[in-house]
Amino acid sequence: MVVGAGIAGGGLAAVLARAGMDVLILERTQEHTDRVRGEYMQLWGVEETHKVGLYDDLRESAEANVIRRLIRYGDLTTPEEAEQQAIGLDALVPGVEGALAVSHPAACDALDDAAVSAGARLVRNVNAVAIKPGHPPTVTYVVDGEERSVRPRVVVGADGRESSVRKQLGFELHATTPRVMGAGLRVAGTEAWAADECVIGTDGEWNFLVFPQSGGFARLYLMYDIAHKQKLTGPDKTRLFLEAFQLDSFPKGEVFATATPAGPCAAFPMNDTWVDEPVMPGVVLVGDAAGWSDPLIGQGLSVAMRDARLVSEALAQGDDWSPSAFAPYVEERAERMRRLRYSAYVVARLSCDGAPGAVERRGKFETRVNSDPDLFMVRVAALIGPEKVPAAGFTDEAMALLFQN
């Protein structure tokens, strides 16, 4: 049983159903809508979709757009320099043609459809999921006012940040203090922008991100120091959000500043969370339910795909579905999320620094990172995968070197 038919739940359910398992998915909503969530999948997440066989589902059913170039506009370079120094995303990870930009609801639908086509049962409008752990666990839930009870072999909690599975079973969620606010808006009418180019840049107090999607849509994000959290609030927030894309360092951003809103504009405090042992008898947590990476560095979709692969591999091993069967997943996830916390801390300190002297600090950091291959790899970790970078890059010593005066 999978509770939550989002990216992690839908993806895992599809993989398990295709492997011939009997899968029941419980989803609270009647349909997936835009909740201002992740819509950019990093190269290492795309690599995972190839490994679990979900790439075509995202590309074809969800019409995911391939992003081949990353341009880092900002107040440290001229627009021309930024374009000359664009990072090619099509040759960094073997077998991966680029990152993916995809509507979150469309991706959930595509993964759910893949699961259902492979024989999984998806029940929507589900409430009051109550779990008693054990071998097997007992689950009750309410649908259409009727209470039902089942005894699956294992329950996967994939019900997102506010996971009721995690909360009701008493898993402890550790959390960092939010340093950054993150706002998002999906826009239409951006056909003039090159569809295979994304943007991540910092100008003044704004860290701005652009991910073009198919059909002339684009997902825009703005990240900013939490000390200024009132910046994008009130009835004018959508207008203020779009105006923020009018930047001297990013003249082509005019396309986005004048685009048409195509979804809600919402802002959230950003942080990292984790659960030390996201397993207990008959229960395993995946995706945001098991703890999330700070959305500032856009890892959640990739994390969900890796979780889906490792949990499906554990279940495919044999008949032992006790917590020890998930040990490789638990161990790998702990180190993966630790490294991503480290990366998010570095990016937040540099890219969303609203204090005086921020431009000078960023300038020094850029020079230092670009001249030291070990330090440079920490930046690359978020693109190619945290495990592909030497562990020495994620230590207190490396951090001290990064931020020395």
Ligand X SMILES: Cc1cc2nc3c(=O)[nH]c(=O)nc-3n(C[C@H](O)[C@H](O)[C@H](O)COP(=O)(O)OP(=O)(O)OC[C@H]3O[C@@H](n4cnc5c(N)ncnc54)[C@H](O)[C@@H]3O)c2cc1C
Instruction: By CB under 6 A, name the binding residues for ligand X.
Output: 3-9, 26-29, 36-41, 126, 129, 158-160, 164, 182, 184, 268, 287-289, 292, 295, 298-302, 304
Q: Which residue is nearest to ligand X (CB)?
A: 300
The enclosing H or E element of 149 equals strand 146-150
Angle at 323 between CA 321 and CA 326, to 5 degrees: 80
Q: How far is the CB of 129 from ligand X (least distance, A)?
A: 5
User: Which residues are CB-contacts of 342 (< 8 A; sequence separation ≥ 6)?
Assistant: 378, 394, 399
CB crowding 131-158: b at 16 or more within 10 Å, else e: bebeebbebebeeeeeeeeeebebbbbb
Q: Which is nearer to ligand X, 269 or 328 (CB)?
A: 269
> Shortest gap between Cβ of 364 and ligand X (angstroms)?
27
**Of the two residues 268 and 403, which places its CB atom closer to ligand X in the complex?**
268
- The three-class DSSP label of residue 247 is strand
Taking the least distance from each CB to ligand X, the nearer of 178 and 403 is: 178
Cis status of the peptide bond prior to 136, with omega within 30 of 0? yes
Name which of 64 and 375 has its Cβ closer to ligand X: 64
Element housing 11 (H / E): helix 7-18
**98 within 8 A of 90, measured Cβ to Cβ:** yes
Question: Minimum CB separation from ligand X for residue 4, in Å?
Answer: 3
- C-beta closer to ligand X: residue 303 or 398: 303
Shortest distance, position 392 Cβ to ligand X, whole Å: 26
The torsion angle over the Cα atoms of residues 328, 331, 335 and 336, rounded to 10 degrees, is 40
Say which residues have a Cβ less than 8 Å from residue 126's Cβ, sequence separation at least 6.
26, 27, 28, 141, 142, 143
β-strand partners of 131: 139
* Cβ closest to ligand X, residue 27 vs residue 203: 27
Nearest distance from C-beta of residue 80 to ligand X, angstroms: 27
Q: Shortest Cβ distance from residue 128 to ligand X (Å)?
A: 8
Name the minimum Å distance from CB 226 to ligand X.
Answer: 14
Nearby residues of 137 by Cβ (< 8 Å), 6 or more positions away:
131, 151, 152, 154, 155, 281, 282, 283
- Whichever of 41 and 402 has its CB closer to ligand X, that residue is 41
3-state secondary structure of 112: helix
